[in-house]
Amino acid sequence: MLSEEPDSRPTWATSHLRHYEKNRILDPPSNAGNHQNPRPCRYNPIPPTFEPDSQGMLPPGIPRKTPSEIQQAFLEIRNSLLAQSEAIKHPNFEALSTGDLALLFSAYDERFFHGLLEKLLNDRTSLPLRLRLSSRMTSSGGKTTVKQWRDIKSGQLGEISYEIAISTTLLFLSFRDVQRPIQVCGVTCRDRLDALQRLMEHEITHLLEYLLREESSCNKTPFKFLAATIFGHTDTRHQLISQKERAATQFGIRRGSWVRFLYEGQPMEGRVNRITKRATILVPSKTGTLYSDGRKYSNFYIPLGLLDPADPPPSEPR
């Protein structure tokens, strides 16, 4: 999953290929063992190398664009999505659908890859690429995953599936009430649509690596070369607004802060233990759960707007 930079802003997670055996097979969960007839595997691995072209290491079939051509393609994709989307009405959109992700992916495949992504996907699997919006990804801007199921009884391999997920939480927290410059992949973004495009470009690069090399890491040179050459990216991280940053900036609340709030009409006080979409508050309680500090607490999940900073009582460590 996603780690954090020293300044506590979220960074990219290395999108991952889960593998439990050397041949990269994901066993199904226990309740999925009744799959008697999975599709036969159509996956034919390509050696993890790129054929160099005359100017560098771009894989065959991917045209090299000049910086001005890249920017022109970005603009065409942006305008195309604004024209075709039923949910996105302006660049700082307030609604987003998986259909928008499909439009975006198709536009990138057409303008940057001349249909190569769709061809590679069809060669690897008969399953469609899954595009998903996630409200639970609170630090990772996007994630690309590859899975393959195996029937426990027969050992037969099923189809490989590919998925790209985009965090709606981070997109909608950004360009809102916390005002600061926002960069994604080293590119300063003017609005949510800019940020969405950079997120999709990053995940498309992961997908391309998986399709060509069976593995992908944005911390390694091949990924950085592809992202820089194809999309002009200069970094592999994002600086979208997280709920932690918003809590500190807008409400003066951080992990460890002592806060007060009302719960079912009763005043309560406790310490912030975690901040995601809501804050997890630990309220000292004789009947609560025992924690590692040897004390008992009750858990409360409270929206940030309902919390007020407070001074801890003398008995509490500061």
Contact 211, 117 (CB under 8 A): yes
Instruction: Calculate the alpha carbon distances from 5 to 2, 9, 165, 182 in Å.
Output: 10, 6, 22, 15
Q: Six-digit token pair at 308?
A: 């007020």
Convert the pLDDT of each residue in 4-23 to its tens digit: 333 333 333 323 333 322 22
Q: Residue 317's pLDDT is what?
A: 66
CA neighbor of 175 nearest in space, from 193, 150, 149: 193
Distance between CA atoms of residues 161 and 150, nearest Å: 12
More confident of the two residues 45 and 110: 110
In angstroms, the CA 153 to CA 257 distance is: 52
SS3 category, 30: helix
Contact predicate 5/11, CB 8 Å: yes
Per DSSP, the three-state class of 158 is strand
167: Cα within 13 Å, side-chain hemisphere: 30
Per-residue pLDDT at 32 exceeds 80 = no
Calpha distance 151→100 (Å, rounded): 34
Distances from the Cα of 136 to the Cα of 81, 115, 131, 143, 230, angstroms: 25, 31, 15, 12, 30
Q: Which fold has domain 249-309?
A: SH3 type barrels. (2.30.30)
What is the distance of C-alpha 240 from the center of its chain? 11
- Higher-pLDDT residue of 204 and 40 is 204
β strands within the chain, DSSP E: 130-134, 142-150, 157-167, 182-184, 187-189, 258-263, 266-275, 279-290, 296-302, 308-309
Place of tokens 């899975």: 147
Nearest CA to 19 out of 218, 260, 207, 216 is that of 216
Global pTM value:
0.77
59 vs 211, higher pLDDT: 211
Domain residue spans in the chain? 30-241, 249-309
In the prediction, which pLDDT does 132 show?
Answer: 96
Tell me the CB-side half-sphere exposure of residue 170, using CA atoms within 13 A.
29
Q: Provide the β-strand partners of residue 271.
A: 258, 282
Q: 255-284 as b/e, with b when 16 or more CB fall inside 10 Å?
A: eebbbebeeeeeebbbbbeebeeebbbbbe
* Alpha-carbon 255 to chain mean position: 23
Report pLDDT for 17: 31
86-92 average pLDDT score: 94
Pull the structure tokens for residue 17: 């290929």
How far, in whole angstroms, is CA 227 from its chain's centroid?
16
Q: What is the mean pLDDT of the chain?
A: 83
- pLDDT surpasses 70 at 29: no
What percentage of the chain carries pLDDT values higher than 90? 67
Question: Is the per-residue pLDDT at 174 higher than 70?
Answer: yes
Tell whether the model's pLDDT for residue 127 goes beyond 90: yes
pLDDT band at 148 (very low <50, low <70, confident <90, very high): confident
Strand bridging mode 130-134 / 157-167: parallel
Angle between helices 98-113 and 67-84 (to 10 degrees): 150
Residue 253 pLDDT exceeds 80: yes
